[in-house]
Amino acid sequence: MIKQKHGIDVDPHKNIAICCGQSEAFAAAVFATINLRDEVLLFDPAYETYGACITMAGGVPVYVPLDPPHWTLNLELFVGSFTSRTKAIVVNSPHNPTGKVFTTDELAAIAQVCCDKDCLAITDEVYEYITFDLAKHISLASFPGMAERTIITSSLSKTYSVTGWRVGWAIASTPIASAIKNIHVKLTDSAPAPFQEAALIALRSSPSFFEHLKTEYEERRDTIVKILREAGFKVHFKPQGSFFVFAELPEHCVLPDVDFVAELIKKAGVAAVPGCGFFHESRVLRKGISSDSLVSGEMPKPYQNYEKRYVRFAFCKSSATLEAAAQKLNQFVITNEHEEPH
């Protein structure tokens, strides 16, 4: 599958480490490669476990903001975030929480910088088969010079809706894959053997399975975007992949994201995730911005005032559940849009 989809030659005995889900594969990859005070660049907003793994390994997570509202790569800011201590970058595409799929041009630029800086890349590609419209997932490892310096992590969980099976993998050069296997043995020993047997069958699914998967999720994506817009949310960016929508709160909503989500759960029974959990401290913008901004304590545009205005909704639900949520959400927004935060 790797050769067919990404054009990468992989020896299953030398280049693949089977782990307990993508989460462990990512952790083992970080523990195998990151040493004390090594810096690792992450694109912000970022899934929360990445930074935690880097910190536990003794490394330093450095967050490079994507430009809202379409979450585009700011190449100047990215390049300016490298230091002599930068060891690796993390690329998650399709992206959680925004649903962004990095473009070919963005990935080519990232790959070129990695080669120029002699930097490793750790990718999270768990949503690789869930892309919409004309967006297409391309692995960073497929670009010139990147196969030997990229660690791909992925799993069965999202594609086959088996998040509880905990079967994932890391794909890397032989020395790195060997190190990941050694870490994996110390962490969890082995992934569940019966589920690995089932995985062999799942991974041989016909192309029609993946087409059906995309079609189903694309319909749900369109449904939830319509629901949120009708409820007054600002969906500036229609997800290109994954099964999340990262929506800005309605314009007249005075509640910050955490308070809004708490009220939404309590009063409407609808769950979402506050966006602030995916954003990180402004001090990480230490490179690529003017010293005047740093001295004044002000964030340069477009990095102002949005960290507490976003919430993430998941649409990996049935149509009936989405419609029920729509009714509750509309009523909640109508009755709460002018309430003051508690």
Q: Give me the pLDDT at residue 288, please.
A: 43
Q: Please list the alpha-helical segments (H only) found in 188-273.
A: 193-202, 207-230, 257-268
Q: Tell me the C-alpha distance between 261 and 166, whole Å.
A: 29
Average pLDDT over residues 145-151: 97
CB 51 within 8 A of CB 277: no
177 in Cβ contact with 18 (< 8 Å): no
Per-residue model confidence as pLDDT tens digits over 306-327: 789 999 999 999 999 999 999 9
Residues in contact with 257: Cβ distance below 8 Å, sequence separation at least 6, in sequence order: 249, 274, 275, 276, 308, 309, 310, 311
- For 78, the token pair is 């990215």
Q: What percent of the chain has pLDDT over 90?
A: 81
The structure tokens 């010139």 sit at 144
Helix pair angle (48-56, 21-33), 10° resolution = 40
Q: How far apart are CA 96 and CA 313, in angstroms?
A: 11
> What is the CA angle 50-2-242, rounded to 5?
45
**pTM of whole model > 0.75?**
yes
Let me know how many helices (H) and strands (E) the chain has, helices first. 11, 10
d(CA 36, CA 342): 42
* Cα–Cα distance, 122 to 30 (Å, whole number): 8
Smallest Cα–Cα separation from 165: which of 16, 18, 312? 18
Evaluate whether 9 touches 3 at the Cβ level (below 8 Å): yes
Exposed, middle or buried by CB within 10 Å (0-12, 13-18, 19+), for 210?
middle
Mean pLDDT of 142-151: 96
Q: Could you give the CA distance from residue 219 to residue 17 in angstroms, rounded to a whole number?
A: 35
Digit-coded pLDDT (tens) for 271-284: 999 999 999 864 34
Query: How high is the pLDDT of residue 337?
Result: 58
Beta bridge partners of 234: 248
Chain segment 43-94, per-residue pLDDT in tens: 999 999 999 999 999 999 999 999 999 999 999 999 999 999 999 999 999 9
Residues in the chain: 342
CA distances, 88 to each of 38, 56, 82, 83, 144 (Å): 8, 15, 10, 11, 17
In sequence order, what are the residues at sequence separation of 6 or more whose Cβ sits closer than 8 angstroms to the Cβ of residue 55?
Answer: 61
Query: For residue 286, what is the enclosing H or E element?
Result: none
CA within 13 Å, CB half, 306: 22
pLDDT of residue 144 exceeding 90, the answer is yes
Give the strands of the sheet with 16-19, arranged side by side.
16-19, 168-171, 150-155, 120-124, 86-92, 39-44, 60-65
| pLDDT (0 to 100) of residue 120 | 98
